[in-house]
Amino acid sequence: MTPFVLPDEYEDLRASLRRLAEGEIAPNAARADELSEFPWKSWEAWRDAGFTRLPWPAELGGDAGTFLAHAIAVEEVARVCASASLFTFISKLGMTVLLDHGDADLVARYVPRVVSGECQASYCLSEAEAGSDVAGMSTRALRDGDHYVLTGTKSWITNAGISDFYTVFAKTDPDAGHRGISAFVVERTFPGFSIGKLEQKMGVRGSPTGEVVLDECEVPAGNLIGEENQGFYYAMGALDRSRPLVAAQALGLAQGALDLAVEYVKERRQFGRPIAEFQGLQFMLADMASLVDASRLLVYRACALLDEGLPGTAAASSTAKLFASDAAMRVTTDCVQLLGGAGYTTELPAERMMRDAKVTQIYEGTNQIQRLVVARELLG
């Protein structure tokens, strides 16, 4: 269900994505969650169907899909598997700074291999003591002749150990705060690069999250993205365009939970009739549907602003992310409640959806940070 009519090409895309998601991604979701394993079969189905090309520029081998098209893709995969939905957009985030600010040779060396699905990419900004406080990062990058030496540990990195390429943010001027950060493309094969601890998580357990350890990691000077000491601004610009995709992930989770709840209450009988006939449960479903539709409007609006290059994208992206993720937490929790004891078991995906939804309120900037972004926009 969509709250307004999209052009036919978007609805055709949605139909194709839903067929793939339900047929080849959903069957792997429970196992990936149970074993905390990357869902390789889902990734291969996504790649083989050609969807890795969707959001990338045509000149790099992509399909030149819009932000809205990409959001629909994320939404449809998240509807059946939140873990798999991360691989639909994390590589784009991992390469966005390079696309925006890298020179043509550097872009040509890395991006086409990600576009084709040959390789994957990650975004390495956070550290144990530098989450919302990006300027507090301690990872250093010291120029030494024709290369930089990177030292430090990045934390909470999506696709850690899966990705081949990592966009790493490090201090080139440690005394300059956020004005002393630079960005680099780091290959996992570079000397001094390793994967540290992998987190044991409550949700999205099929998408590995862990540490990237840089122990005097040697990075060619040509792998500096753009200019030295501009990395903070590059990073924030990339996040502004990734937040609507996190919002789309939350939207997909909420839609999946709503669909599951509706199907269940129609079949479940108590007191001699389907529980769907009970007014109290109908009110819950109506509230859930309203939150899903409102989330979709905000997500699609943010994407439309980005596609048209209009002002106000930062606030629109933050609004979509905070509303959709809060809505997803509410809708998935209510789904578990509507399913009762069955919702609390792993036989149905409701409890997984509820666990998965929580992280959408936290990563790509906590919802408290999103509220600050929106408030500052309002106050000028």
Sign of CA dihedral 252, 258, 264, 267: negative
Question: Hey, what domains does the chain have and what are their CATH numbers?
Answer: 8-115 (1.10.540.10), 121-231 (2.40.110.10), 233-379 (1.20.140.10)
Q: What is the pLDDT of residues 11-23, one digit of tens each?
A: 999 999 999 999 9
Sign of CA dihedral 29, 35, 41, 44: positive
Cα 50 from Cα 54, distance rounded (Å): 8
* C-beta separation of 6 from 66 below 8 A: no
pLDDT score at 2? 47
Residue 287's H or E segment, with its range, is helix 279-308
Residue where the block lists tokens 């002749």? 145
Query: pLDDT (tens digit, 0 to 9) for every residue of the chain, 380 residues total?
Result: 444 678 999 999 999 999 999 999 999 999 999 999 999 999 999 999 999 999 999 999 999 999 999 999 999 999 999 999 999 999 999 999 999 999 999 999 999 999 999 999 999 999 999 888 888 999 999 999 999 999 999 999 999 999 999 999 999 999 999 999 999 999 999 999 999 999 999 999 999 999 999 999 999 999 999 999 999 999 999 998 999 999 999 999 999 999 999 999 999 999 999 999 999 999 999 999 999 999 999 999 999 999 999 888 999 999 999 999 999 999 999 999 999 999 999 999 999 999 999 999 999 889 999 999 999 999 98
Which residue numbers are catalytic? 364
Q: What is the pLDDT of residues 344-367, one digit of tens each?
A: 999 999 999 999 999 999 998 899
Closest alpha carbon to 86 in 127, 38, 14: 38
From residue 75, how far is each of 70, 165, 216, 241 by CA, in Å?
9, 25, 39, 16
pTM of the predicted model as reported, rounded to 2 decimal places: 0.95
